Amino acid sequence: MRVKDHYDSFLGSVYSWILGDFDTAYRKYVDLFATLKLAPHGDEIAVDLGCGPGCQSVPLAELGYDVLAIDFCQALLDELADHSGTLRIKPICDDIRNFPEHIENSVDLIVCMGDTLVHLPDREAVRSVVEAVCDSLKPGGVFVYAIRDYVGHAPTGAARFIPVRANDEQIFTCFLDYRDDVVHVHDVLYRKQEGEWKMSVSDYLKLRLDSTVIDRQLTEQGLDISCKTEADGMITVMATKTL
């Protein structure tokens, strides 16, 4: 199944729930952006690629950025609207590969968090998005991206079964099948309906991206890697455009 179809028909309706809750995810990015010392100087524009329900967009807008929030899942953008209030956030329902069509001039900050890049269909698409990011930043502009480390360790056996979240009404788990270049993800949702548990399953592919390859492309296109961290299996990189 295509990733967009997976979100539209299956994952979008429970995405925020499996995060834990919006406030927890929001607070994580408040802390991250403070650690990275992101702060606009005057009127600056930030683009949030794969914004989801707004866990990144809201704290960026609270810092003072005008935020362009792009995601292909309308259900998640509707949630973002509920969280954004009067903040200066413009939601756009589109593929992140088309983000240059929605900006008029170079921007100050682009963020691409979570598993957004690994959801792209192939490595050439990743390379094209990263190239567009580099071209779209002002001199001194910043790119922050995060990807899960699907390269450093491939789980086997029972470790491929991931319990995500559960309550009295629903249970969400996933099964990971690691292949050479991709991870085949099977998301499994159990819902209690009239006292009986009903199971639904949807699957899609994630790319096994190597952050060092992305970093090399960034440096080749005039960005300096100023920060790189890894925590809880997520690699986060901050790069600044010098040219």
pLDDT for 21:
81
What is the identity of the amino acid at 9? Answer: S
Domain boundaries, the chain: 3-150+210-241, 157-206
- Whose structure tokens read 């690699």? 235
Rounded to whole angstroms, the Cα distance separating 55 from 57 reads 6
Q: What is the per-residue DSSP string for the chain?
A: --HHHHIIIIITTTHHHHHS-HHHHHHHHHHHHHHTT---SSS-EEEEET-TTTTTHHHHHHHT-EEEEEES-HHHHHHHHHHHTTSSEEEEES-GGGGGGG-SS-EEEEEE-TTTGGGSSSHHHHHHHHHHHHHHEEEEEEEEEEEE--SS----GGGGEEEEEE-SSEEEEEEEEE-SSEEEEEEEEEEEETTEEEEEEEEEEEE---HHHHHHHHHHTTEEEEEEEEETTEEEEEEEE--
Q: Is the pTM of this model over 0.75?
A: yes
CA distance 50 to 146: 11
Residue whose pair of structure tokens reads 């259900």 in the numeric block: 75
What does residue 157 show for φ and ψ, rounded to 5 degrees? Answer: 60, -140
Instruction: Please provide the CATH number assigned to the domain covering 157-206.
Output: 2.20.25
3-150+210-241 folds as: Rossmann fold (3.40.50)
Q: What is the pLDDT of residues 45-90, one digit of tens each?
A: 999 999 999 999 999 999 999 999 999 999 999 999 999 999 999 9
- pLDDT-derived band of residue 1, with 50, 70 and 90 as boundaries? low
Q: In sequence order, what are the residues at sequence separation of 6 or more whose Cβ sits closer than 8 angstroms to the Cβ of residue 136? A: 47, 99, 100, 103, 106, 107, 110
| CB within 8 Å of 226: residues ≥ 6 apart | 238, 239, 240
pLDDT tens-digit readout, 85-117: 999 999 999 999 999 999 999 999 999 998 899
Average pLDDT, the chain: 95
